[in-house]
């Protein structure tokens, strides 16, 4: 691979107050990849964990939701890809429709794969990544085992014994609980309320 010399050297040789030559902007940042968790009270309560990749949201349904405790492994059922725009959906899916129930945007932000080749990491079933969410942060892994995929927090400054699901039960975009979302969108309020902490 060709070795590049830093733009610093190019710049150090020039006085940009005097010369009309371009100073050169920072290299464009790689587009940030979105991350979202949707708390979904359907037939059963679960948390849909989604990572934007190759123009879609890779998706896992996590029945017990994510845990900040690195000793806790949460089963994550790999489900079909979703469109990227799905990551901004909060509301009610009508009863009788696929996934009928109440959906809350529980967390959102961006993510970065740790491996150089994330496609390969995903294929191999060992996807390590960094989350920059409002609730979930730091290093995590989705690992495929004989039980299926597991979602696990790595040890770092964001690891904790705190039950984040109980401590932060509200929507990250609207501050609403599931029952509020159901009530305001014609959903099943009593059912939705079962997903909120008592």
Smallest distance, Mn ion to C-beta of residue 54, A: 21
Q: Decide: helix, strand or coil at residue 91.
A: strand
Interacting residues with Mn ion (CB under 5 A) = 40, 48
DSSP 8-state symbol, 13: T
Smallest distance, Mn ion to C-beta of residue 148, A: 16
Smallest distance, Mn ion to C-beta of residue 101, A: 8
* End-to-end Cα, the chain, rounded Å: 59
Residue 22: how many CA atoms within 13 Å on its side-chain side? 4
For Mn ion, give the closer residue by CB, 49 or 53.
49
Smallest distance, Mn ion to C-beta of residue 193, A: 18
Nearest residue to Mn ion on Cβ basis: 40
String of DSSP letters for 29-66? PPPPEEEEEEEEESSSEEEEEEEEETTEEEEEEETT--
For Mn ion, give the closer residue by CB, 40 or 135.
40
Rounded Cα distance, 34 and 160, in Å: 24
For Mn ion, give the closer residue by CB, 40 or 74.
40
DSSP 8-state symbol, 100: -
């Amino acid at each position: 691979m060709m070795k590049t010399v830093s733009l610093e050297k190019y710049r150090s040789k020039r006085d940009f107050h005097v010369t009309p030559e371009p100073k050169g902007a920072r290299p464009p940042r790689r587009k940030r990849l979105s991350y979202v968790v949707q708390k979904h009270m359907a037939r059963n309560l679960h948390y849909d964990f989604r990572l934007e990749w190759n123009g879609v949201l890779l998706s896992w349904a996590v029945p017990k939701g994510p845990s900040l405790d690195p000793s806790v492994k949460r089963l994550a059922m790999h489900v079909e890809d979703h469109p990227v725009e799905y990551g901004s959906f909060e509301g009610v899916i009508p009863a009788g429709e696929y996934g009928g129930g109440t959906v809350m945007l529980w967390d959102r932000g961006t993510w970065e794969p740790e491996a150089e080749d994330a496609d390969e990491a995903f294929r191999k079933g060992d996807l390590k990544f960094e989350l920059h969410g409002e609730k979930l942060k730091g290093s995590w892994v989705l690992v495929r085992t004989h039980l299926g995929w597991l979602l696990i927090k790595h040890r770092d400054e964001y690891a904790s014994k705190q039950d984040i699901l109980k401590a932060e039960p509200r929507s990250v975009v609207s501050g609403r609980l599931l029952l509020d979302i159901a009530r305001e969108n014609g959903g099943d309020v009593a059912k939705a309320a079962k997903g909120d902490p008592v």
